[in-house]
Chain A
Amino acid sequence: MRDNVFVAICYALTLGSLLSYATVLLRRARRAGRVAKSEELPWT
């Protein structure tokens, strides 16, 4: 029982952290993109 709780914590923590980081990253990019100077972005 305790094993399953620890496993669940590990998966939830890892996947939750990665998802949160990706969300924050995309938000920051959008915020920075709103005021970026160049008309043509290098990757487009």
Chain B
Amino acid sequence: MSTTVPNPQSIPGTNASAVSRRWRGITSTGFSRVLGVATLVLVVWLVLFGLLFSPPDQTQQSSVRIMYIHVPTAWVAYLAFGVTGLSSAMYLFRRAHSLAWDRVAGASAEIGVMFMALTLITGSLWGRLTWGVYWAWDARLTTTAFLFVTYVGYLAVRRLGGSHQARAKRSAVLGLLAVIEIPLVHFSVELWRSLHQEASVANPSGDVKMDGLMLFSLFVGLIAFSLLYFWLVLHRQRAMYLEDQYDDADLDVALVERRAETKEHSRA
């Protein structure tokens, strides 16, 4: 939300002590701090294993090191969009229609879009080294780009305005529809002839042809980025809760001002 923050004292229900209490780590808890530290340690591990300890590939040489971030970012994007779909279903089909599910869906989609963008960029650079081109209208690349654009659209729909419940309802419907694209992207390399290689680890035959240290580096990347995703979602959905509260408070102030204006007019 790119709005100017007014004086906290002007918002009903706020006071100086509450403000100063909240100033530090407003969205943090003990658990989120532990998760943050664990994520940081694993990211350092990823850099060390990805850049230094893992061996270069026989054919791809050093460029294989891109795999340790390209594959995890793609995995996290799938995970994030899956969580958006699940949270959308929870919002729509549970009686309470809790906005908490909507916030998790929105937070997860936003983070997923960022990871998907990183997947496309790192994949494009890797493609330049291995295929000789930054982009090809290949089945996997095209469906991935389509998935990215769909979720950018989802984020745009969330910002259309209206009440929180209206936002939640329309975005939940879209979130449920968009999640259907994920299997299409994943199986695109099997459905169509593709430049992109098939799954190296999660393949149907279960035959993993990869050096042990390479595989370990890849798993470090997967775990590091998954933890980072959970940490980001935790903070983002809490920030969304605060932003919703801010919107409500802003509306309350506007209503009070409007009522005061109406009284002035009726007196005159």
Instruction: Give A31 to B246 CA distance when docked, in angstroms.
Output: 10
Taking CB atoms, residues of chain B closer than 8 Å to A9 are 125
Taking CB atoms, residues of chain B closer than 8 Å to A39 are 13, 18
The answer, yes or no, to whether B239 is at the interface (CB within 8 Å) is: yes
Give the interface residue-count category, chain B. 35 or more
Known: A10-B122, A14-B69. A38 touches B239 (CB 8 A): no
Give the interface residue-count category, chain A. 20 to 34
The answer, yes or no, to whether B41 is at the interface (CB within 8 Å) is: no
> How would residues 115 to 145 of chain B score, 1 for a CB under 8 Å from any chain A CB and 0 otherwise?
0001001100110110000000000000000
| 8 Å CB interface, A1-44 against B | 2-4, 6-7, 9-11, 13-15, 17-18, 21-22, 25-26, 28-39, 41-44
Label chain A's interface by main secondary structure. helix
Residue of A nearest to B18 (CB): A39
Instruction: Give A4 to B11 CA distance when docked, in angstroms.
Output: 53
- Are B13 and A10 in contact, with the CB atoms below 8 A? no
- Are A10 and B22 in contact, with the CB atoms below 8 A? no
- Are B248 and A37 in contact, with the CB atoms below 8 A? yes
Taking CB atoms, residues of chain B closer than 8 Å to A22 are 231-232, 235
Instruction: Give A36 to B114 CA distance when docked, in angstroms.
Output: 27
Instruction: Give A25 to B235 CA distance when docked, in angstroms.
Output: 7
- Are A6 and B5 in contact, with the CB atoms below 8 A? no
Most buried by A among B14, B29, B50, B61: B14
- Are A6 and B239 in contact, with the CB atoms below 8 A? no
Known: A31-B5, A38-B245. A6 touches B125 (CB 8 A): yes
> How would residues 67 to 99 of chain B score, 1 for a CB under 8 Å from any chain A CB and 0 otherwise?
001100100000000000000000000000000
Chain B residues with CB under 8 Å of chain A are: 1, 5-6, 8, 11-14, 18-19, 22-23, 26-27, 29, 43, 47, 50-51, 61-63, 65-66, 69-70, 73, 111, 114, 118, 121-122, 125-126, 128-129, 228, 231-232, 235-236, 238-239, 241-243, 245-246, 248-249
Point out the residue from A13, A26, A28, A31 that lies within 8 Å of B122, measured CB to CB. Answer: A13
- Are A36 and B242 in contact, with the CB atoms below 8 A? yes
Instruction: Give A31 to B171 CA distance when docked, in angstroms.
Output: 25
- 7 residue pairs of the A-B complex, CB under 8 angstroms, read A3-B61, A13-B121, A32-B245, A32-B246, A35-B5, A43-B27, A44-B29
Taking CB atoms, residues of chain B closer than 8 Å to A31 are 5
Instruction: Give A7 to B6 CA distance when docked, in angstroms.
Output: 45
Taking CB atoms, residues of chain B closer than 8 Å to A14 are 69, 73, 118, 122
- Are A18 and B239 in contact, with the CB atoms below 8 A? no
10 additional A-B pairs beyond A11-B69, A29-B27, beta carbons within 8 Å, are A7-B66, A14-B73, A14-B122, A29-B238, A29-B242, A33-B23, A35-B246, A36-B246, A36-B249, A39-B13
Instruction: Give A18 to B185 CA distance when docked, in angstroms.
Output: 24
Residue of B nearest to A42 (CB): B241
